[in-house]
Structure 1
């Protein structure tokens, strides 16, 4: 006699669907992820997938947020484990930034699939703000800059990090070179004197 499958709670089902979505993006790319392919791969009915995400952009945004949260948790843990010192903190931030590209290629694929979406622009702005705050908080003990001046410089460094990521993705630099360049930029930021 077979036991009927256990019914998952709504939050557990959502996590299962997002796990399945990551696997689809990893093997088929973001173009292979639809609510229909998700339902089929997860072994659920289509209405269940639609109930959780409503639209493909809704699914992609939920997946992007989840992947970003995992990346942020890894950075936070790395910062907690880092030995104290400006150079160490700068290297941890730099290494974690570029590790995202190699450890979670799904994040870039999902981001690319959502290009031009107003919802995605809002989410990316929100997540960039959060990342800037995380970075500024980690660096504040190592600089004499006022918090707002440090935060503004972190915004600039993150812009440079995005440009370095393009170089890395186009294989015009290695990950080690990108990490060193970003670490040096962060170190320069910490040495900067406040205006006035």
Structure 2
């Protein structure tokens, strides 16, 4: 049976799917453009045409994950009860669910992003966008209508650590969600009490 030529978008999707599988099965260290080409059954120039460099591939993986996380959180916030507990619950659940949906490979991709200033910048931009989304969703519940940036960074750090622990099986998803929920509520309430 003759092979069907994939469109550029279909090929890109295939390469990302194979890259995620490689990271899941062999770890981030095994993810090279040459290995990706071999596993996807294409030539190296095809992979280089899509990602140019390994950092470009890692950035594409992280941006895909971030897009998924943002969509999940947007939908959850939109459907949530407009209370502090309602918003904190959906933010905590969205963060943990997105990491678990992606699987154990996302902590390795996130760690690999620290390997270059270019990748660290992409990661930081995505983090800032998510924190801004959380700030907007939670500000109405702060007594003075302000959530301090330090609190948002603390929440984000807790989220990253809890999600990593859930993804690696050190704690359950429910434990991660509950702890993150409590962290978010405490951050908003503490800020409200500090004024």
TM-score (normalised: structure 2): 0.83
CA distance, structure 2, for counterparts of residue 187 and residue 195 of structure 1: 14
CA RMSD of aligned residues (A): 2.5
- Deviation at residue 53 of structure 1 after TM alignment: 0.9
* Match in the other structure for 1:114: 113
**Unpaired stretches in structure 2, ≥5 consecutive residues:** none
Shift of 1:195: 5.5
Question: What is the CA–CA distance in structure 2 between the aligned matches of 1:170 and 1:34, rounded to whole Å?
Answer: 23
Q: Show the counterpart of 1:103.
A: 101
Q: Superposition pairs for residues 35-184 of structure 1, below 5 Å?
A: 35-104=33-102, 105-147=104-146, 149-165=147-163, 168=166, 173-184=171-182
Structure 1 spans left out of the alignment, 5+ residues: none
3-state SS, counterpart of residue 115 of structure 2: coil
Counterpart Cα distance in 2 of 1:63 and 1:166: 17
Give the alignment's TM-score, normalised by structure 1. Answer: 0.83
Partner of residue 5, structure 1:
4
Q: How many residues align?
A: 193
More off after superposition, 114-123 vs 88-97: 114-123
Does structure 2 retain, via aligned residues, the 8 Å contact 1:20–1:41?
A: yes
Cα distance in 2, alignment partners of residues 160 and 140 from structure 1 = 19
1:24 corresponds to: 22
Contact 1:68–1:107 (CA under 8 A) maintained in structure 2: no
